[in-house]
Each structure stands twice: as C-alpha cells, then as structure tokens.
Structure 1
Amino acid sequence: MGLPAELLRAHLDLLAERDPAIGRTLARVGYPEPRIRARGHQTLLRTIVGQQVSVASANAIWGRLEALFGADMPLDAIAATDDATLRTAGLSRQKAAYARSLADEVLSGRLDLAALPEEDEAAIARLVAVNGIGRWSAEIYLLFAEGRPDIWPAGDLAVQVEVGRMLGLDARPAERATRTLAENWRPYRGAAAIFAWHSYMAGTASAI
C-alpha cells in the first residue's frame, strides 16, 4: 500500500519545518489525500493501459479487460490470448505486446512483485525490464503501491511545474534540475511528490 495519511502528514510537517516554501504552500492548500494503489501486476497493467489515452478511455478499456479476464487479471490467461481478442478490448498491438512482456516477466519468476529489491534504484531497474514500463511508471508504482517514502518522480510534468512555482522560479525546471532541487527533501521526497500534485491541482482549479 502507499503512504498512509498519518505518515504523509508527518513527513510533510517535517518538510515544512525544513523548507519555508513547502510550509507556505502547505498553509495555503492544506494536506493532500493519500494516493494508494494495490501491490501487484494489476496496477502495472493498469498503468500500461492508461498510457497516452484519456482517463475515460483507459477506464473503458479496463472495463472490457475485466469482462474478458475478471478483476484479478490472471497473467496466464492474458499471455494465452491472441492479439485480435486483446484488440477488441481496446489494446493497441504495442500495448498487447507490453501486457505479454509483463506476463512473461512475472510468470517466469524474473519479476517478483512481492519481493522487489529494497534499494529504490535497484527496484526501479527491475521494473523497467518490463517492456512498456518506463522510469516514471516504475516510480509511481513504488510510491503508490509500496509506499516507498523517498521516491521522487522528477520527470513528471506537474511535479516540475509545481516545484518551480513553490520555489519561485522563473521557468519550469527540467527533470535533472527538479531532482537536484529536491535533494534537501530527502528522505521524504515521496510525500513532497504527492504534495506537489495536490498543490498543482489546487493552483489549476483556482486559475479556472
């Protein structure tokens, strides 16, 4: 599971004491809700399904996959299903290949989602061995499904925008700069990321 509410709040309180920019923003937008996903291949498969499509389209595709395979999404059944059937559910040929890659990694035992490496970078490297799972997707999984407290998805556009806004920068920092700017937030960068998304959404809503 992801970071529970009480731990998320505690980490943000520590960050607010350390960094006045976070303290000011926290006073303005308040605490975020936890972002929690289930640990397991279903969450990674859902990430693949959602790539480069709208939330509504991803939900529709996921519903058709559930109709085909059930909520557990058994990987052996997915691996045995032909592309034509997967495409009727809305998966492109490329995403069908990604789903098969995930099935192969898990069913072969090369990827054990119940025993990923404890070191974050090693866990990320293990996840990106699955075709279709990039660094951002791996980081999101480790933060939302495993609740790893120091995951920092610096490649996320909303995180970059909000870091720049919180710190009063003239422009959105690039990924490398976003990683550097967050060094002072270790080992609570996971809470900082969730807070950045929360603050970004608050800022977007107020601009409408």
Structure 2
Amino acid sequence: MSLSAEQLHRSIDALAGMEPAIARMLETIGYPPPRIRDRGYQTLLRTIVGQQVSVAAANAIWAKMEAMIGAGLAPEAVAAAPDELLRATGLSRQKIAYARSLAEHVASGTIDFDRLPADDEEAIAQMTAIKGIGRWSAEIYLLFAEGRGDVWPAGDLAVQIEVGRLLGLPERPSERETRRLAQGWSPHRGAAAIFAWHSYNARASAAKTDKTPL
C-alpha cells in the first residue's frame, strides 16, 4: 500500500515540527504529490527495462516484449525466453541478464513480492540478490510500491544535494553522512525523501525560468 496524500502530509507536518528548514521550505513550495507505483514483479521489471533509456524507448521495448513473450510478461515465460528473442525486443545483453535473474527468482519462489520481510533491511537484502537491483532500486520500490514510510534512499544524489541545501551545509553530504543526518527524522524518512525531491525539483524549475532561487 503506497503512502497516501494524507499520510504524506501528516509525516511532512511532523518533519516540519522537527526541522525548521523543512518548515520554511514547506511554506514556500507546499506539499509534494504522492509517488505511487504498482506492487509486484512487473514494477521491478519495468525498472530494469527503463534503465538508461528514455521513457518512449522503454515503452517500445516493453510493448515488443509483450508481443513476443505474452501479455503480462509472466516470470516463467521471461525466464524461459532465449537470449535471441529478448535481444530482438531491444534489451541489451546486460539487461537480459538482469531480467532473467528477476524472472528466475520470482518463478522459483526465491522472492515473493506479496510477502517481502517486514524488516526493511531484510527486504532490501532479498531484492538486491537479484542482478541489476541495487540498494537504491530496492529502497525506491519499498517506498513507492509498498509505502514503507521510514525508507531513506540516502544514496540518491538529489536527496543528498537537497539535504545539504536545506541544512545549510557547505557541500553535498556523502551517503553515510546523509543517513546520519536523517536519523532524528525517523519514522518519517520516506516522506523526507519525497519532500527533498519536491524541493530539488522546485529549485531546478525556478532556475530554468530565471526566477529568484528558493
């Protein structure tokens, strides 16, 4: 279950009470919209297909995969598909390995996206056992598809940049430092990440339109 707008607002209000810089920015840019993705295998497969290509290219590859393998791209069918067929859909050799690893994990029951461990770190460990799924991808899935409100993607560059800006740091904090800085924001760190992206995008939009930086 993804974070609803109401849950997101409550968490950001709690963060604003903890951190004056967030409260000030909230007055300027308002609340971010919820970020919601479908739960399950297909969401991660789409993540793999979409790596380092445009949205249009990813959609075209997905359509070819469904045409050649079957609607819904059942994990058993993807796992059994020969490399030549997958390559014909537009997948690179690396992405073929990643897609096959994901499909094999799901088809064999090694991972069940309906029953991921309740502990975030255990769930991340299961997901990162899949080729091509790093910690960032696992954290984004848990935050957007499962609505786990305390997931903190500290390795995200935009999150690091915006945390540094909000807190008035002289330079962008490292992943380790970003994790440390947000410890006091638990259990609302997922909302903090969504707000950081919202703030980062607001600054970027202001810069593009030559407005005074926020």
TM range (shorter): over 0.9
% of aligned pairs identical?
65
The 1:95/1:192 distance shift into structure 2, 3 A limit, reads same
In structure 2, the partner of 1:68 is: 68
Check 1:180–1:81 CA distance in 2 against 1; reply closer, same or farther (3 A cut). same
Instruction: Tell me the distance in 2 between the aligned counterparts of 1:196 and 1:89.
Output: 36
CA distance in 2, matches of 1:156, 1:203: 17
How many angstroms apart in 1 are the aligned matches of 2:58 and 2:170?
35
Deviation at 1:191, TM superposition (A): 0.4
Aligned position for 1:11: 11
CA–CA distance in structure 1, aligned partners of residues 74 and 31 of structure 2: 37
Question: Which segment is superposed worse, 76-85 or 182-191?
Answer: 76-85
Per the TM alignment, residue 130 of structure 1 is displaced from its structure 2 partner at its CA by 0.6
Aligned residue for 1:195?
195
How far apart, in 2, do the equivalents of 1:69 and 1:23 lie?
Answer: 50
Unpaired runs of 5+ residues, structure 2, are: 209-214
Deviation string, structure 1 residues 52-88 (Cα, Å, up to 9, x no partner)? 2233332332232233345522111111211121112
TM-score (norm 2): 0.93
Instruction: State the distance in 1 between where 2:127 and 2:163 align.
Output: 26
Q: CA RMSD in A?
A: 1.2
Residue 58 of structure 2 is matched in structure 1 by: 58
Moved more, 164-173 or 8-17: 164-173
| Contact 2:124-2:135 within 8 A present in 1 as well | yes
Comparing 52-61 with 74-83, which one deviates more in the overlay? 52-61
Q: Quote the Cα distance in structure 2 between the aligned partners of 1:66 and 1:178.
A: 40
2:103 and 2:180 mapped to 1: Cα distance? 35
Query: What SS does structure 2 have at the residue aligned with 1:115?
Result: coil
2:69/2:81 contact within 8 Å kept:
no
Greater length-normalized contact order (CA 8 Å, ≥ 6 residues apart): 1
Structure-2 separation of matches of 1:171 and 1:109:
44
Residue matched to 2:212: none
Report the TM-score when normalising by structure 1: 0.96
- Say whether 1:28 aligns with 2:23: no
Cα drift, residue 156 of structure 1: 0.5
